[in-house]
Amino acid sequence: MHTFDRAKVIVVRGVRSLAFWLVLGAVVGVLFIVGAAGRPAVGLIKIPVAISSIEQTQDIVRMMKYSRDSRDIRAVVLQIDSPGGSAVLLEEIYLALTDLRRVKPVVTTVDTMALSGGYLIGVAADSIYVKPTSMIGNIGVWMSLQEQDELTDDVLPTGPYKLSGLALRDAAKMLEMVKEGFVGEVMKERGDRLKMTKEDVSQGKIYLGLEGVKLGLADKIGSTDDAIAGAAKLARVANYSVVDVAEKLDISLSLPFFFFKGDAPPVEDRGAPARDPAPRFYYLYPDSREALR
């Protein structure tokens, strides 16, 4: 082989070798970047409020949808400290949560309380962690009815229930239907873990965390960190981070709920309407009504 040919072969081999190492370096770099960006995480969604507004509900649902769609978030922990709130708003959150749970594991951890609708949200999770003195339960519903208008010369209704909306006996039937729906969801979600009859569940009692675990209303005594570790285990991830979803989305829910009425922050009187436009249902611990003002 001539000297020129030998040199040509050496150059070609060198170029191929250089190209190989360049490609290999690029591949390793991409894998490193993807690996760093795609580190699995447990999403933490905090619900420290009585649910009383559409804005709160939209924020919580947005956090759930983000967690559902995020590639990095492999499991979600709900940190609940709530006495419940407006039934229709809580049902919106419950439905969003069941949609999330179809895609990823969800674990609930209860701080001070998950009462009434607060428990409705929590019970939709795969597992519930409580502290020994957490308060859970108060399963049930109450209803507010508008005041009856007196007939005057300038008020002419077209039917006997046009002004009130319904008779008292109809309101009682509605209330029973809503209660049955709530109790039915608890019975379905807890399944064989529940050591209570349907009648017991319907009583609306409050239980301490320790008792709730014995009765099957919750699964384990544990901290928020325990709940996060449990969620990661359900998702089968070991090396994970924790993402506060509210911080990620720059969401700030309203002031936390305070258990005793006397501790509640003052509320500005903005002039409530003279009458409610329609009957309203509440999955709310009754002593918490100040939180909805």
Distance CA 43, CA 222 (A): 18
Q: What is the pLDDT of residue 194?
A: 97
Has residue 34 been placed in a domain? no
Domain range enclosing 183: 40-146+159-264+272-292
Question: What Cα–Cα distance (Å) separates residue 18 from each residue in 5, 94, 272?
Answer: 20, 58, 77
In our burial notation (b when 16+ CB lie closer than 10 A, e otherwise), range 224-244 reads beebbbbbbebbebeebeebe
3-state secondary structure the chain: CCHHHHHHHHHHHHHHHHHHHHHHHHHHHHHHHHHHHCCCEEEEEEECCCECCHHHHHHHHHHHHHHHHCCCEEEEEEEEEECEEEHHHHHHHHHHHHHHHCCCCEEEEEEEEEECHHHHHHCCCCEEEECCCCEEECCCCEEECCCCCCCCCCCCCCCCCCCCCCCHHHHHHHHHHHHHHHHHHHHHHHHHHCCCCHHHHCCCCEEEHHHHHHHCCCCEECCHHHHHHHHHHHHCCCCCEEEEHHHHHCCCCCCCCCCCHHHCCCCCCCCCCCCCCCCEEEEECHHHHHHHC
Q: Domain for residue 15, yes or no?
A: no
What pLDDT is recorded for position 65? 98
Domain annotation covers residue 28: no
In degrees, rounded to 5, the angle at the alpha carbon of residue 137 between the alpha carbons of residues 133 and 141 is 145
Number of compact structural domains in the chain = 1
Q: Considering the domain boundaries, does residue 207 fall inside one?
A: yes
Please report whether residue 122 resides in a domain.
yes
Q: What is the pLDDT of residue 77?
A: 98
What pLDDT, on a 0 to 100 scale, did the predictor assign at position 244? 97
pLDDT of residue 177: 93
Q: Residues 16-49: pLDDT tens digits? A: 565 555 555 554 454 555 454 568 999 999 999 9
Q: What is the pLDDT of residue 263?
A: 39
Below-70 pLDDT ranges, the chain: 1-38, 146-167, 254-279, 287-293
pLDDT of residue 285: 87
Q: What is the pLDDT of residue 280?
A: 81
**Inside any domain, residue 18:** no
The enclosing domain of 190 has a CATH number of 3.90.226.10
pTM for the full predicted model: 0.77
117-159 pLDDT per residue, tens = 999 999 999 999 999 999 999 999 988 776 555 556 566 666 6
- In order of 65, 113, 154, the CA distances from 59 in angstroms are 10, 21, 43
Tell me whether residue 50 is in a domain: yes
pLDDT at 211: 98
- 220 in a domain, yes or no? yes
